[in-house]
Amino acid sequence: MDIYTMNSFDPDLIIESPGRINLIGEHTDYNMGYVLPTAINKKITFRFRKNKSEHICKVYSKDFDKSLTIDLRKVVRSITEWENYVLGVINEIQKLTDELRGFDCTLESTVPLGSGVSSSAALECGMAFGLNQLFNLGLSESDIVALSQKAEHTFVGTQCGIMDQFASVMSREDHVILLDCNTLEHEYIPINLEPYKIVLLNTHVSHNLASSEYNTRKMECEQGVAILKKKYDTVGTLRDATLEMLKTVKDEMDNTIYKRCMFIIEENERVMAMTKALKENDLKTAGKILYDGHSGLSELYEISCPESDFLVNFSKGIPGVLGARQMGGGFGGCTINLVHEDVVDDYIRAISAVYYEEFGLRLTSFEGFPSKGTSIIYKK
Ligand code: GLA
């Protein structure tokens, strides 16, 4: 694949699109609630150029050393997962405009895959953002966010919420976004954690189950809403419900549905509490909210796994660690930890050793720096 040799590829456009972290607010997005994410300094770099073709596009992934040829007249789902993110985005763009023409693109990523930091949104949003620039499609940032989310629904099959795509595109350096997933109203909250750091620990547990379980959780929440609605006509989604309301319908609900709803209602409250803690620079409270969030997603939403539980429990005994929880869609990925800068190295050393002893898996770690969203690095 000569033309894709990274050195010889002369791009018209270079785009960087980041992964994201989420301080708190898991699975609240598709329940129309609140989230507190931001982009991080791990990103996918896209090099684009128009080719002379009307319909033929080539996309090369350096990390997989695989390329994909697309005929714009026949964009269909693939059996290869990463290809569906690209194809899904092209398919959604074609619903909005007929201005797409042949292009070549190379991808190179520092976002760890399947680790709860949304390499998928980075890929979708970078592709959409880049094609918008390359062909002057006139799409707005909100169009890019929305079509990228839709691509995941239609071509990948995960009924995801809006958080990841919103964070990937809209983030600002040194801020987290308090996002209302119902109205998309948002506020940029400055984040200064000094002398603490955001440490991400990658469990390296693959979350294959995540997509089907994810869709199941979404359905369970909808079942909860249907029961709540019968009694309270103000409840359109779980963001409208309170714990008091939920308790009054407990006997009409399967216990699993009850636990799912309870988690979402409490998780929305935690987003508000975390926002307040950040504004007041109350990092001790911020850390406690992380631990509480983890208990909820482990016991009520049941999307944790032994590896994540182990890491979070171990962290509780370490001085200088204020809080920890599993982050993202569930069943592994990364934990997010709030750790004093003086103990970061010792903490990582100690937790990696016990983790290896317990599971035979090597932890990897990195620091999460709140960073800006998808952007143009170069344009001819
Ligand atoms: C995945 C989804 C998001 C969100 C998180 C859980 O990352 O893509 O929409 O639901 O899981 O908070």
pLDDT digits (tens, 9 = 90+) for 36-54: 999 999 999 999 999 999 9
Ligand 1 midpoint to CA 217 (Å) = 11
Q: What is the mean pLDDT of residues 123-133?
A: 98
Is the beta carbon of 163 within 6 A of some atom in ligand 1? yes
| Ligand 1 atom closest to 116 (CA) | 7
Q: What is the pLDDT of residues 244-259, one digit of tens each?
A: 999 999 999 999 999 9
Q: Which residues 6+ apart lie within 8 Å of 255 measured at CB?
A: none
Alpha helices in 135-282 (DSSP H): 141-151, 163-170, 210-231, 243-248, 255-279
| Ligand 1 atom closest to 30 (CA) | 10
Residue nearest to atom 8 of ligand 1 (CA): 160
Q: Which residues 6+ apart lie within 8 Å of 49 measured at CB?
A: 9, 10, 11, 12, 13, 103, 104, 105
How far separated are the first and last CA of the chain, in Å rounded?
A: 24
**Amino acid 1: pLDDT:** 47
Answer whether 310's CB lies under 8 Å from 302's CB. no
Question: What are the DSSP E strand ranges found in the chain?
Answer: 13-22, 34-35, 37-50, 56-61, 66-71, 103-109, 175-180, 186-190, 196-202, 321-326, 334-340, 364-367, 375-379
What pLDDT band is residue 147 in, cutting at 50, 70 and 90?
very high
What pLDDT band is residue 6 in, cutting at 50, 70 and 90?
low
Is the beta carbon of 296 within 6 A of some atom in ligand 1? no
Ligand 1 midpoint to CA 214 (Å) = 8
Q: Which CATH architecture has domain 3-191+371-379?
A: 2-Layer Sandwich (3.30)
Answer whether 296's CB lies under 8 Å from 258's CB. no
Residue 196 structure tokens: 């603490």
Is the beta carbon of 152 within 6 A of some atom in ligand 1? no
**Amino acid 210: pLDDT:** 63
Distance CA 255, CA 302 (A): 13
Residue nearest to atom 5 of ligand 1 (CA): 329
Residue nearest to atom 9 of ligand 1 (CA): 161
**Amino acid 223: pLDDT:** 98
Q: What is the pLDDT of residues 284-302, one digit of tens each?
A: 999 999 999 999 999 999 9
Supply the mean pLDDT for the chain.
96
Give the burial class of 24: count Cβ atoms within 10 A of its Cβ; 0-12 exposed, 13-18 middle, 19 or more buried: buried
What pLDDT band is residue 364 in, cutting at 50, 70 and 90?
very high
- HEC profile for 9-33? CCCCEEEEEEEEEECCCCCCHHHCC
Residue 197 structure tokens: 């750091």
Domain parsing of the chain, residue ranges: 3-191+371-379, 196-367
Catalytic pick from 29, 104, 164, 292?
A: 164
Is the beta carbon of 217 within 6 A of some atom in ligand 1? no
Cα atoms in the 13 Å half-sphere on the side-chain side of 4: 21
Query: In this model, does residue 142 exceed pLDDT 90?
Result: yes
Is the beta carbon of 118 within 6 A of some atom in ligand 1? yes
Ligand 1 midpoint to CA 104 (Å) = 30
Is the beta carbon of 220 within 6 A of some atom in ligand 1? no
| Ligand 1 atom closest to 118 (CA) | 7
Ligand 1 midpoint to CA 125 (Å) = 15
Query: In this model, does residue 371 exceed pLDDT 50?
Result: yes
Query: In this model, does residue 2 exceed pLDDT 60?
Result: no
Q: What is the mean pLDDT of residues 175-182?
A: 98
Catalytic residue status for 164: yes
For a pocket test of ligand 1, which of 36, 163, 169 has the largest count of ligand atoms closer than 8 A to its C-beta? 163
Output DSSP code: residue 339. E
Domain 196-367 has CATH 3.30.70.890: yes
Helix axes 119-134, 141-151, angle to 10 degrees: 130
Distance CA 183, CA 346 (A): 43
Query: In this model, does residue 313 exceed pLDDT 70?
Result: yes
Answer whether 12's CB lies under 8 Å from 50's CB. yes
Is the beta carbon of 329 within 6 A of some atom in ligand 1? yes
Ligand 1 midpoint to CA 160 (Å) = 6
Ligand 1 midpoint to CA 328 (Å) = 6
For a pocket test of ligand 1, which of 38, 156, 164 has the largest count of ligand atoms closer than 8 A to its C-beta? 164
Is the beta carbon of 161 within 6 A of some atom in ligand 1? yes
Is the beta carbon of 207 within 6 A of some atom in ligand 1? no
